[in-house]
Amino acid sequence: MKKTLLIFWLIMPFFCYTQLIESFSDGNFTENPVWEGTVNNFNVNSSFQLQSAAATPSTSYLLTRSEALENAVWECHFRIDYPSSSSNYACMYLSLT
């Protein structure tokens, strides 16, 4: 019985696969998955890239909830078209709670 359970637990991950992929190709980042935060400070451009659209200098953030955080792979692209400084920069924080 122990061997059967061990084999089951060893091969089970190969049959379970979950992921969150957001390419913004639908032009809408507020649904499927739902993104929360300062959503008015962002938009999706014609190249389907999420970009900052804040009218004034401010702190902007987005978050989405995920059940698939174990063994997760996070990929993103930052493009900053201005000289960064100690008060003008981009940060990315990943959090697990």
The overall pTM is greater than 0.75: no
35 φ, ψ to 5°? -105, 140
The mean pLDDT value for 36-43 works out to: 88
String of b and e for 76-91 (b: at least 16 CB within 10 Å)?
eeeeeeeeeeeeeeee
Model confidence over 56-87: pLDDT tens digits?
878 888 888 776 666 666 677 777 777 777 77
Model confidence over 16-32: pLDDT tens digits?
555 556 778 888 877 87
Q: What is the pLDDT of residue 47?
A: 86
- Please, are residues 82 and 88 in contact by the beta-carbon 8 Å criterion? yes
CA-closest candidate to residue 37, choices 84, 95, 85: 95
Q: How far is CA 10 from CA 2, 72, 73, in A?
A: 12, 19, 21
Q: What is the pLDDT of residue 94?
A: 65
Cα dihedral 65, 59, 80, 48 sign: positive
CA-closest candidate to residue 27, choices 61, 51, 10: 51
Q: Measure the CA–CA gap between 57 and 20, rounded to whole angstroms.
A: 30
